[in-house]
Amino acid sequence: GLMRELKGIDVMELELKHRLGIKKVMIVPGDGDESPMVKGELGKATAICMKKLLGGKNIIAVTGGSTMAAVAERLSPDLTQKELLFVPARGGVGEDVQNQANTICSNMAHNTDSRHRVLYVPDQVRSEIYESLIKEPDIHEVLTLIQSASMVLHGIGDAITMAKRRKSNPEIKKKLEEGKAVGEAFGYYFNEEGEIVHKVLTIGLQLEDLEHIPNVIAVAGGTSKAKAIKAYLKQAPKSTILITDEGAAKRLLKG
Ligand code: F6P
């Protein structure tokens, strides 16, 4: 439309896609750091993008966070000429309830008249109990569903913000500082080169699993997330679609 052309958003989308070396970039107007409404716009754009990609039966793996929570608000039943099943991508119990993948999946299913599954697994698991947890039948079943997902919807966060939100212990915070972590996604922390500085042990989707999933949609906006987005996308599969806002996009194009 005219608004988009005036703002040069179409041009920015193409340039950013080339710079980041990913499949597609969608940019919504505004800056999420300045207005909470922008997350709603990210949600709307995500819904449009999902509608184009989904066909037949789909298992959709979803991460937590306030952006994904906003996406859930914007999904509607017109997605459900298709059969959808929403599953948490990873254990997330321990985060704020409204930002947990379990809650978000439940809202997504509710808003699209479809189904969801829960994964009652903490966002951080000690290695001693990891092995026994994955053998629990209920958990095992959800893990199998995650592995056959045709789409992943996920957030990207600033590393330090995420470490604080997770109440990570001083040892981990030190590791992140020393490793100059700037971005976080799926429990992995990345430095500006896109190298993994730290990984939170939990059950569910691991970074290497993304390569086998046909549709990967990253949703993250706000100027303050530009560094995080850039860092993570150095590791991300090239098939990733990024849905972001003007604030982050402008900062990314400057850098
Ligand atoms: O904790 C789940 C998660 O998806 C993280 O991987 C990501 O960094 C964060 O949430 C994004 O949260 P928000 O959308 O609130 O910035």
Nearest CA to ligand 1 atom 5: 185
Q: In this predicted structure, what is the pLDDT of residue 80?
A: 63
In angstroms, what is the span from residue 174 Cα to ligand 1's centroid? 20
In angstroms, what is the span from residue 65 Cα to ligand 1's centroid? 4
Q: In this predicted structure, what is the pLDDT of residue 176?
A: 98
Q: Give the model confidence (pLDDT) of 105-147 as tens digits.
A: 999 999 999 999 999 998 888 888 888 999 999 999 999 999 9
Residue recorded with tokens 């306030």: 66
Report the atom number in ligand 1 closest to the C-alpha of 70: 14
Provide ipTM, 2 decimals. Answer: 0.99
Nearest CA to ligand 1 atom 16: 157
The preferred substitution site among 42, 162, 168, 198 for testing ligand 1, maximizing ligand atoms within 8 Å of CB, is: 162
Q: In this predicted structure, what is the pLDDT of residue 3?
A: 56
In angstroms, what is the span from residue 62 Cα to ligand 1's centroid? 11
Q: In this predicted structure, what is the pLDDT of residue 87?
A: 98
Question: Taking the model in full, what pTM does it have?
Answer: 0.96
Q: In this predicted structure, what is the pLDDT of residue 2?
A: 54
